[in-house]
Structure 1
């Protein structure tokens, strides 16, 4: 049952639009949808899912490429039942922030602004729930944003869940960056080209030929994949500029010294689908795990889910999504 009523949130940079309570299978979950003011006065659509009473932890989410924060309601249902606040916002050029555009883009210089957005949102959640353990989750595009963010602010984060990430050789990424940068000259930063689409999503899909859809690489659960494809808030393409910024970030986060400055005892949970092409079918995730351990990090846990593809949290039919959610609960309880 939904009970809408307007409230004042109390955040200095949040303008609350609506709050409602949802009862699902006896679980009471309060949800706030609002406009968050990010870096440069950008207006970003956001959501907070709250349990009843004082929370025991916060999980802040940085979502993936071409999707939006609303796709995390199932995870929020699981975690709020355990007393965890779940919060996040649509990244720049994604979800409700992109209007009628079918191309996801941060805009020129948007990567640094997106990192600032994440930090502003982090600070405001801290103001609202001071002293509450603050975990972060980054998926896909969000995983690389989170890895860069932790290089600057890991001392403020209780622990990190890095989902659907990967690692590619620096030389390969340098070549890719040069190719994509040449495409920006043709399309502009916020436009795209057939070559950019081929190098980004189409290459991933080749592993799963013959293809049922252009997005088979995302999820083996056909019903969930079809919901994603039909979701009007999920963008169809990635801009040349955003792809170049992502490749550049992948190169930085894959550098030999990428984790040297990270807090050595910070809890990190690395999870991915075993068939995820972004993680090179698990090999890229294993490289990230090995690099973190080599840097002296002593609280890193990794799990690969057999048969699951990139969008692990929507692999419902196989049970992988539910297993991943349960693992997150156990891991947070252990590290809270």
Structure 2
């Protein structure tokens, strides 16, 4: 069961457009899951995952980040964040959390972010981990050691062309190597998913794949800096279960060593229950891959194992291996 909602951002008054997927009537509600989507996409792309979770009793909430989907003042503003920076994205996310917890009180709260959204949720956790019963980090970018160079380029461009300038240069610096890895597939978005149909739909959808403004790249740079820094983490919830998930062929995490470093960063901060999984053959958008239900099933099983949710009768059953472990994954 779906319903929409809107919230006026406390940052600057921007209207944030949101979506809730609830379990059907009669299905026990076991948890509240808030999602934070990635760069240059929109909330409805997460509906299959949200519907799966709702079948298993989890209320799912998501909003379009500012500059995405319907959280814009005009279509021309896609990719522009109105000067709010990374802090504005985090504040918007927390504001939706407060709303969702009032609407659905007394449920365990799970926060999950994909790609850029994974940076938002970890920056959120720096101050608000006491709100969380579980944190899921999906398709995470590894620490970017060239981030200061990108920031300098962005500020130079913005000084001449303005914050709303669409930066093809920063886009190429950020994602050119990702596309090059799959150059024989003739789509600059092939790195996102191994399913050609998903890539085609992404390319053809005006709400996807748009170029960020310098202003939005500033926000992305803020998030990378905050996520991988050690300053400012309160770490009041040291036993918080944290799960990292990425596709084995996702260029965003760079390599297994860097993926492990992202996980170890959370451990060094003080979180004691952090683990990760890579999915061989999958690319960046593991929630949209052909074998996506294996990922969905892994998330559900992990939440049960960590005792965040209770078992709910019915719902989709994820593919199993002979030993009862969801197929197609490898632990890190």
Per the normalisation by structure 2, the TM-score is 0.86
- Given that 1:219 and 1:308 are in contact with CA atoms closer than 8 Å, whether structure 2 keeps it comes out as yes
Q: Given the alignment of the two structures, is residue 49 of structure 1 paired with residue 21 of structure 2, yes or no?
A: yes
Asked whether 1:105 is paired with 2:80, we answer yes
Say which SS state the counterpart of residue 95 (structure 1) adopts. coil
Alignment-derived partner of residue 324 in structure 2: none
Q: Residues 181, 106 of structure 1: CA spacing in aligned structure 2 closer, same or farther, 3 A cutoff?
A: same
Q: TM-score, normalised by structure 1?
A: 0.85
Residues 142-157 of structure 1 correspond to what in structure 2 (within 5 A)? 142-157=117-132
Structure 2 counterpart of 1:228: 202
Looking at structure 2, the residues matched to 93 and 230 of structure 1 have their Cα atoms a distance apart, in angstroms, of: 19
C-alpha displacement at 1:187, in angstroms? 3.1
Give the whole-Å Cα distance in 2 for the aligned partners of 1:280 and 1:222: 22
* CA deviation string 1:280-313 (max 9, x = no partner): 1443321111122233322112001111111111
- How many residue pairs get aligned? The number is 303
Structure 1 window deviating more from structure 2 (235-244 vs 146-155): it is 235-244
Alignment check: 8 A CA contact 2:193 2:283 kept: yes
Q: Does 1:185 align with 2:159?
A: yes
**Contact 1:150–1:262 (Cα < 8 Å) also in 2:** no
Shift of 1:73: 0.7
CA contact 1:93–1:105 (8 Å) conserved in 2: yes
2:218 aligned with 1:244, yes or no?
yes
* Residues 286 and 37 (structure 1), Cα distance of their counterparts in 2 relative to 1, 3 Å cut: same
State the shift of 1:180 in Å. 2.0
Alignment correspondent of 1:331: 302
Give the structure 2 partner of residue 213 of structure 1: 187
Distance 1:139 1:258 in 2: 22
Q: 8 Å contact 2:85–2:218 — kept in the other structure?
A: no
Are the aligned partners of 2:240 and 2:271 in contact in 1 as well (CA < 8 Å)?
Answer: yes
Higher strand share: 1
Structure 2 unaligned segments of length 5 or more: list them.
Answer: 309-332
In structure 2, the partner of 1:125 is: 100
Which residue pairs with 2:328 in the alignment? none
1:200 aligns with 2:171: no
Higher mean displacement: 126-135 or 285-294: 285-294
Distance 1:201 1:169, change over 3 A: closer
Segments of 5+ residues of structure 1 without an aligned counterpart are 1-29
Q: How far apart are residue 166 of structure 1 and its match?
A: 2.5
Q: Secondary structure at the match of 2:277?
A: strand
Q: Secondary structure at the match of 1:303?
A: strand
Aligned ranges 1:137-176 → 2 under 5 Å: 137-170=112-145, 172-176=146-150
State the distance in 2 between where 1:275 and 1:260 align: 33
Cα distance in structure 2, aligned partners of 1:129 and 1:311: 29
Map of 1:35 onto structure 2: 6
String of CA shifts for 1:15-72, please: whole Å, max 9, x gaps. xxxxxxxxxxxxxxx1002322222322121100000345110110010001011001
Contact 1:43 1:97 in 2 (8 A): yes
Asked if the contact 2:118/2:138 (under 8 Å) is kept, the reply is yes
Shift of 1:232: 2.8
In the alignment, is the contact (CA less than 8 A) between 2:235 and 2:270 conserved in 1?
Answer: no
SS at match of 1:96: coil
CA shift at 1:260, angstroms? 6.6
CA distance in 2, matches of 1:198, 1:149: 28
SS of equivalent residue, structure 1 residue 269 = strand
Superposition deviation, residue 262 in structure 1 = 5.3
Contact 2:2 2:19 in 1 (8 A): yes
- Tell me, in whole angstroms, the C-alpha distance in 2 between the residues paired with 1:289 and 1:176: 24
Q: Deviations over 1:135-157 (max 9, x none)?
A: 01111111111110000000111
